[in-house]
Amino acid sequence: MTLLRILCLHGYRQNENMFREKTGSLRKVLKKHVAEFVYIDAPHILPVQDNIAEDDTNASASNRTNERGWWFSAADLTYDPLATTSCDRGFDESLEYVIKYINEQEVPFDGLLAFSQGAAFAVLLLARLSTMKYPFRFVILVASFRSGQEQHQSIYNNLQIDLPNLHVIGINDRVIPCFMSETLANECFKNAEILRHDGGHFVPTSSEAKLSYIQFLDRFL
């Protein structure tokens, strides 16, 4: 049995190290299924600010100076997932960067795991790749949502991502309201599978969540 290799995309105001720490419990839960979680940094470093990272109240000083994002929704290099704007500064660079990274892999990825802004970015990435064979066998999106940037809206028109997909949605998520994740899953994916949990803006690893992950991943081993 060949274990899985998964590319991991962090949320806004996070970086690869922070997301690795935040998914430590998940990696333990899936150690019999996943050989390697590959974490990468978004290419854009954020200005140092006083507000905290997504679901991160204990960010270290080193991490706080290396917070990153996949794109910005305003010219002042900030991002608001609930805002509708015409600014998507840095988005094209991130798209090119991730596609290049995927194409350079000697061992292909089996899956894609993405959180919050990283999950919203993952949907747009998959939309770009939908005209060719997907470089993944499955995708797991946690707290995903539809981008509010005006230039992205046409991408969602008739979008039906035909890739096995699991959407993890926190009923009490105060950063990304659960209806945003539900709408994206049901409108943009074929045969969407949804894992709902009672928590907020994080990757759950309860016994119920563990069972859902394992049942989803078993088919790819």
First vs last C-alpha separation in the chain:
6
Which amino acid, 138?
F
Q: Which of 116, 144, 147, 181 is catalytic?
A: 116
Q: Write the CA distances from 144 to 5, 123, 132, 181, 214, integer angstroms.
A: 21, 8, 23, 5, 20
Contact 71, 88 (CB under 8 A): yes
Q: Which of 10, 33, 167, 201 is catalytic?
A: 201
| DSSP-derived secondary structure letter, 149 | B
Q: Taking CA 51 as the corner, what is the angle to CA 9 and CA 39, rounded to the nearest 5 degrees? A: 15
Question: Per DSSP, what are the bridge partners of residue 39?
Answer: 8
**Is 147 known to be catalytic?**
no
**Is 218 known to be catalytic?**
no
State residue 3 phi and psi, 5-degree precision.
Answer: -75, 165
Q: Which of 56, 88, 110, 173 is catalytic?
A: 173
**Is 152 known to be catalytic?**
no
Buried b (16+ CB within 10 A) or exposed e, 141-151: bbbbbbbbbee
Cite the DSSP H helix spans in the chain: 16-22, 24-29, 61-64, 91-103, 117-129, 178-188, 207-218
Tell me the catalytic residues.
Answer: 116, 173, 201
